[in-house]
A and B are shown apart, each in its own frame.
Chain A
Amino acid sequence: MSEVILMKGNEAIGEAAIRANCRHFFGYPITPQTEVLEYLARRLPEEGGAYVQAESEISAINMVFGASCAGARVMTASSSPGISLMQEGISYIASAQLPAVIINIMRGAPGLGGIHPSQADYFQSVKGGGHGDYKLIVLAPSSVQELIDHTMLAFELSEKYRTPVMVFGDGMLGQMMEPVVFPDYLPPPVDRPWATTGMEGRGPNIVHTLYLPAPDLENHCHRLFDKYRDIEAREKRSQEYFTDDAEILVVSYGIASRVARAGVEMAREAGIKAGLFRPITLWPFPDLQLQAAAKQARLLISAEISMGQMIEDVRLGIRDKVPVKLFNRIGLVPNPDEIFEFIKAEAGEVSKIG
């Protein structure tokens, strides 16, 4: 085990990428994500890597596209409006079946919004965002340590399935400091026989996303979705607290899930049978795990820093068998007291129904 260091979330992401043997980073600064760039601008040259500040997020994602075609392990990072600009490129990367890691340290939105913590890009990344039929694996860490672990995991998954992976953070997670330990981690070698690395005695490798004959495009989409089904079968991840006998089950991810955990603990102390289900992969959404965790549940509460986005997957996941309510705040990370009060009020309602 290496030693404890005190890191900001954004710095931790940068160092995790380096430990995962990522040597190519393209990006454009935006609050509250800029420290990822600053850290890598400082550290990548020390490791013989390249940090390129692009002229825009559109350039950055296309540089990621190009570097991945050429066989590089590559990452970019931005925050909500910048991620919006990247959507076209993400669709190309997904279609070309290229590994790439994209970090979104979400901020207040829509529009220019603000620089507050937010979770309002769920629809964008989990449901598509760019054009066409594709999926993004979306990971939702909830601590600075998990930002490290999930950044490393993102590289692994993106290479295993040759698909882009998004890591979700928010302004608070990116900016706050926590003690972390970097695991003794041996990243897998970069092995990409399909990459455009120069012919060197073999035929040309071609990476492209253009399928003009209709049957070719149809076959391509089916191949992609065979892969997505495989990911859905293997990669759903989640975590549970006090779910065994939970009558009120809070569903929450990322920084909000930590507040929710504290709120649920307060509810337990007050004798309310509350529990927490925390999706770690947002796509694929851990629906089977949710159903198992909600066995005793009479009410589900989706707790998010958005106007209610994940709540749709919670309803789908539970197949509408249990009512689902929304607890939300915008522009700030709520206080555990607020969630506790909400749970308490709902517990009263649930008991009235009997």
Chain B
Amino acid sequence: MDSTWTFTRLVIITGSFGSGKSEYAINLALERAQTNCIANMTLVDLDLVNAYFRVREVRQLLEDRQVQTIVPREDVLHSDLPIPGPGIAALIKNLEMNVIIDVGGDDMGATALRGYRDCILGVDHDILLVVNPYRPFTHTIEDIHTMKEEIEYRSGLKINGVVSNPNSGISTNIDSLLAKHELVNRAAELMALPMVEILVYRDLFREHQKLFSDFPCRVRPIDIFLTPGWLLKQQKEDGKKQ
């Protein structure tokens, strides 16, 4: 398995509703801007189909940490209208900029990519599929494959890598994480796509650092930004009781 995946300057993140695209996009942007010191890091919120838990909610935090954001104009920021932020096409073409695009869920969300298809095809790019096999419509290998084809059909673009997010929430345990990751692995093999990385909550990553230090693919410890801290704490405590 390819554990040395290198990202191009344009990373487009797709997947089913609730697959973890936005959290992944935020984590990836922060790491690339701060740890890898990549300049001109810009995160585009292209989620036009969901009205809650979007990148735009943490735009200040991102900008404080050297990640520029492209979100809809302030006067329509909280509207329930499918309005993309300004200047996305120019940003895609501008080779000085490093760009991550967080796309809305399912094929419906991926429709928003169609308008930028020609610009995207003109430059080096990655189109990644985030897969959470705990989600109802990416529960089986077959469903994951269908999701990929639907997203490709609507966007007119080809996915070139899989990101495995085998988490059932903040209280995921290591055994179910590994078992579900195996399912994503098999789906990736079937689709003949490389496994880019696996996402693991930072606490779980710390607990099992040894196991993850020798893992067949890259492992990305994930911090959660879009769920309030108090709710995560409660979910964790309730998860322990079960």
- Once the chains bind, are B52 and A32 in contact (CB under 8 Å)? yes
CB distance from B173 to the nearest CB of A (A): 10
B235 at the binding interface (Cβ < 8 Å): yes
Give, as a whole number of angstroms, the nearest-CB distance from A28 to chain B: 15
Q: Determine if B34 is an interface residue (Cβ-Cβ < 8 Å).
A: no
B3 at the interface (CB under 8 A from A): no
Name the A residues within 8 Å of B235 (CB-CB): 178
Pick from B52, B176, B227: contact of A4, CB under 8 Å:
B176
Chain A neighbourhood of B135, CB < 8 A: 5-7
B134 in contact (CB, < 8 A): yes
A4 to B166, CA, bound (A): 12
- Please encode chain B, from 71 to 89, with 1 for each CB lying within 8 Å of some chain A CB and 0 for all others: 0000000101000000000
In the complex, B231 has a CB within 8 A of chain A = yes
Q: Which of B50-71 contact A (CB under 8 A)?
A: 50-53
Q: Among residues 121 to 166 in chain B, which have CB atoms less than 8 Å away from a CB atom of chain A? A: 132, 134-137, 139
Complex interface: chain A residues within 8 A of B53 (CB): 175-176
Q: Nearest CB to that of B227 among chain A residues?
A: A176
The docked-state distance in angstroms from the alpha carbon of A303 to that of B174 is 38
Beyond A175-B53, A179-B134, whether A6 also contacts B18 by CB under 8 A is yes
Cβ–Cβ < 8 Å partners of A101 in chain B: none
Decide yes or no whether B216 CB sits under 8 A from chain A.
no
Is A262 an interface residue, CB under 8 A from the partner? yes
Contact with A along B88-122 (1 / 0, CB 8 A): 00000000000000000000000000000000000
A335 within 8 A of B: yes
Q: Give per-residue flags for B28-68: 1 if the beta carbon is below 8 A from chain A beta carbons, else 0.
A: 00000000000000000000001111000000000000000
Within B196-242, the residues touching A (CB, 8 Å) are 227-228, 230-231, 233-235, 239
Which secondary structure dominates chain B's binding surface?
loop
Place the interface of chain B in its size category.
20 to 34
How far is B167's CA from A178's CA once the two chains are assembled, in angstroms? 11
Most chain A CB within a 10 A radius of its CB, from B53, B171, B230: B230
A32: chain B residues at CB < 8 Å are 51-52
Which residues of chain A have C-beta atoms less than 8 A from B227's C-beta? Answer: 176
For B17, list chain A residues within 8 Å (CB). Answer: 8, 35
Q: Determine if A57 is an interface residue (Cβ-Cβ < 8 Å).
A: no
Please pick, from A11, A31, A176, the residue contacting B136 in the complex, using a CB distance under 8 A: A11
A32-B51, A171-B52, A179-B171 known; A7 vs B233 contact (CB < 8 Å): no
Give B92 Cβ to nearest chain A Cβ, in Å.
29
A8's partner among B18, B168, B228 (CB-CB below 8 A) is: B18
Are A5 and B230 also in contact (CB < 8 A) when A114-B78, A175-B53, A178-B169 are? no
Taking A6-B132, A15-B136 as given, write out 12 further A-B residue pairs in contact, using a Cβ cutoff of 8 Å, ordered by the A residue number: A5-B139, A6-B134, A6-B168, A8-B17, A11-B136, A32-B51, A39-B136, A172-B52, A178-B235, A258-B231, A258-B234, A336-B230
Could you give 26 example pairs across A and B, Cβ below 8 Å? A4-B134, A5-B134, A5-B135, A5-B136, A5-B139, A6-B132, A6-B135, A6-B168, A6-B169, A7-B136, A8-B17, A15-B136, A35-B17, A114-B78, A115-B78, A172-B52, A175-B50, A175-B51, A175-B52, A176-B53, A177-B18, A179-B169, A179-B171, A258-B234, A262-B233, A335-B228
State the A residues within 8 Å of B (CB). Answer: 4-8, 11, 15, 31-32, 35, 39, 42, 114-115, 171-172, 175-179, 258-259, 261-262, 333, 335-336
